A and B are shown apart, each in its own frame.
Chain A
Amino acid sequence: MNSLILRTTTRLLIGVLLLFSVFLLLRGHDLPGGGFIGGLVGAAAIALYAIAYGYEHAFALLRIRPRALIGVGLSLAVLAGILAAFAGEPMLTGLWWIREVGPWTVKLSTPLLFDVGVYLVVIGVVLRMLFSLEEH
């Protein structure tokens, strides 16, 4: 679609949208958000970019094929589940690493890793379908 307004807006918005999607992903454990919603926002952002600039440019922006995103996401989710085995726990048991770093509390965990996996799979799935529609 060749629209100057759309293109300019998109260029201004894309960064904010992607940042917002990561924000949603990270806050998800305590507040509305999470991997699924964050992934949908991320996918929508890139879809917007694809509409404004064509999918080749969106592809270039993404740098990684959606198909690979799906694979990486699934692997991360499985890895998050298997990590529990090394702590002697049943599969998918959450492991937590909580530290005070300066004024902030850093909470890292296998559920977060799992959620990152979900996030990537959702982006990958939506984009794979959209891009294959765009291709012809």
Chain B
Amino acid sequence: MLTAVLLGFVAAALAPILTPTLGSSVGWAFALVPAALTAWFATHLPEIAAGGVLSSSVTWVPQLGIEAAFRLDGLSLTFALMISGIGTAVVIYAGGYLRGDRQLPRFYLLLFAFMAAMLGVVLSDDLITLFVFWELTSLTSYFLIGYKHELRSSRDGALQGLLITGSGGLAMLGGFLLLGNEVGTFRISEMLADPAALTASPIYLPALILIALGAFTKSAQFPFHVWLPNAMAAPTPVSSYLHSATMVKAGVYLLARLAPGLGGTPAWFWLLTVVGTLTVLAAAGLALLQRDAKRLLAYSTLIALGALVVLIGVGGTYGAKAMVVFMVAHALYKAPLFMVAGNIDHEAGSRDVTELKGLGRVMPVSWTIALLAGVSAAGLPPMLGFVAKEVAYETLLPHVWALAALIAASAVMVVIVFLVVWRPFAGREVTAPKSPHEAPLSMWLGPVVLAALGIGFGFAPDVLAQGLLVPAASAILGADASFYLALWHGVNTALILSIATVTIGVVLTIAWGPLHRFLVARLGGVRFGPAGAYQGFLDGLVRVATWQTRVLQSDDLQRHLTTIIGFAVALAAGTAFVRGGLALDLPAVSGTLYEFLILILIVVAALATVTAHTRLRAITSLGVVGFGIALVFTMFSAPDLAVTQFLVETLMVIVVALVLMRLPSTLLRGSADRSVRSAAAPIAVLGGVLLTVLLLAVLSVPLDQTIPAFYDAASYPEANGRNIVNVILVDFRALDTLGEITVLAVAATGAFALLRRIGARKEPEVAYTAPRGSEDDDDGNDEPREGKGSEA
């Protein structure tokens, strides 16, 4: 399974290299990867259906009990098949949709990285491994939403998604750690084996809330739903893959995965059902304000996500069964619907459903797909969507309030389906911004297969149930579930409710025009609570950041350094004072003549530096200080340190020489703020004194010899190296080094960006303003709102 996950990452690494050579067949060629994964997962179907489980693990951080552990059961397999199967369709689709796009290599890199990370999430059997993959999906999602990065709406949507899912992810990590500490393992399967220990523990409620925050943000539950509609700024293949079929279901997956351990309590029931119901209602209401096909579909995804959370909250055999059926049905109809919306956008030049008419005449294949998927989405027979909705209704019969919300939302789904699959296609005359024609094969093959599966499984739902869904429901239940699915259940309460739903839906559809105009007129400009709160938070954050930057990190270098050194002195001296002072045990002064000479050289050079009147002299004197220190290292047999110091000093000279060429040669003594200047000298002296005292205090304590002795003894036998410094760097503490070179890389990027800005600073400086989210803007389609990009 590790290989399956890594295959995606390898594909991601190779994608940018291969994309240009493959030319226009890139989508077809790349689709082989997810297709192979699908086939590999499919071979495990019989085993899983028989109740088997696959697991494998690799030690990762044994000291912390973290393993890269993977486990394939019914639930994981269901998700894995959705990820790789829909992934195949999406990769082919993207080849057509983004044909000739300059950034295609980057797109495939991100898409494959996402696919691998998402597979990692659903296959992980270790909470920490799961968390790492989880964050990777958030990151790849960020880059994919922001794919059209020259548009402000894309950048804002990407940032919003990352901030919301990222903060949720942090809360979730907290919950994981609580659970792990309580149970003593991060292995999910071991943790779930003893649910009573979890639910009875005092950390149960905090852990549940923290983990739920992670799941709710990821699956865009109320009030965190705001990011999902704005994520529609992403190219359509991304929307259909990440933001409807897979990533947004990660939260649902997590709740389902942990249900056997954390579920079944009143807290679990109320938390999930109430939040899910609120999501369903908010999404249904807001959907009526939309005209953009993709945003309409985004709100319908929210309805589905809310319903899934409610069903997990209800739990039991019914809840588990309804949840898995609903989820698969949703994936099979929503991905094709998004792709059709993409086809409309691509071929007709608009996604505003009121601007388009008669497309069915020129795009018959897309229309057929839209109708097939749409009928399933509306919950009409003979589709899988119908079966799913019936089962969901049956499950919710004892909880009337949740049922009522779902019925209302399903009626709105009928409206959404009408607006997306009927209104733009029907009619005799073609009305569109550009002259439309049918999309190429690559853009309809995938959705055709998915929509066909929706109808096929609609006629034979039990094939799907026995092959995949029963084991999946068992995993959610934590016990063996057994059930049968049928298209026709006879006349029962659920069927009557379905008929009622469709009737309400039809009425709403007929009344949509005036209703939509009325709602937009009344509510169009209003920022709803969560969106407004997000904006307010972001504005506040930027204000605080601006304020503290102005106060603490001013452009004036002298003031900046004064702040840093002043704080360091105050904190260190304060700590020393509170802890009762430092013990100084000064050794007798001794040394060779050379050592004293070098010492004098360093002191003189340091004095010359601070009294210098020109930059050149200051820099040269400082260089002498550096070389003096390097000499000291040499004398005390630290050749690695000395060489490094020499080299850094040399490179410093080059850097400074380059900078000096563009600066006036004098130090501009008079220009700095007087109060800062007068404070700078004492603070600098204090800083020097403090450092000296601290070093002397460190030397007063006898050096702990166990660590050097360990490295001395272990270096050659364990790491085949005699240079302890380097062995520590690349072997014993390689993780630290990995962190350091990452920081170096980031610093270089930051310096590059800053230097470019200075080079390009011609336009007047504009203070940074918080990005505007575009939640519920009544214009619906906010693509053309170009941001004034500040990139040079």
A residues with CB within 8 A of B: 28-37, 40-41, 43-44, 47-48, 51, 66-67, 70-71, 73-75, 77-78, 81, 85, 88-92, 94, 96, 98, 107, 109, 111-112, 114-115, 117-118, 121-122, 124-126, 128-130, 132-136
Contact = CB atoms under 8 A, between A and B. Distances in A.
Interface in B625-678: 639-640, 643-644, 647-648, 650-651, 654-655, 657-659, 662
A125 B719 contact: no
A135 B760 CA distance: 11
Contacts of B756: 132
Given A37-B643, A121-B744, A129-B748, A90 B734 contact: no
Nearest to A47: B654
A81 B658 contact: no
15 contacts: A33-B726, A34-B726, A51-B654, A74-B745, A77-B737, A96-B720, A111-B734, A115-B726, A118-B737, A121-B741, A124-B745, A124-B748, A129-B655, A133-B655, A135-B755
A92 B721 CA distance: 16
Nearest to B734: A92
Residue among B655, B720, B749 having the largest count of chain A Cβ atoms under 10 Å: B720
Residue in B640, B735, B744, B749 with the greatest tally of chain A CB atoms within 10 Å: B744
A43 B734 CA distance: 22
B754 to A, nearest CB: 9
Nearest to B752: A132
A125 B745 contact: yes
A67 B681 CA distance: 40
A44 B658 CA distance: 14
Given A29-B723, A132-B752, A44 B734 contact: no
Contacts of B658: 130, 133-134
B730 A114 contact: yes
Nearest to B638: A32
B68 interface: yes
A114 B734 contact: yes
Contacts of A133: 655, 658-659, 755
A51 B660 CA distance: 14
A110 B725 CA distance: 17
B741 A29 contact: no
Contact of A40 (B62, B648, B735, B759): B648
B723 A33 contact: yes
A81 to B, nearest CB: 7
Closest 8 CB pairs of A and B: A136-B759, A40-B647, A29-B721, A34-B726, A125-B748, A32-B639, A30-B722, A111-B730
A28 B644 CA distance: 13
A91 B648 CA distance: 31
A89 B654 contact: no
Contacts of B734: 81, 92, 111, 114
A32 B655 contact: no
A73 to B, nearest CB: 7
B679 interface: no
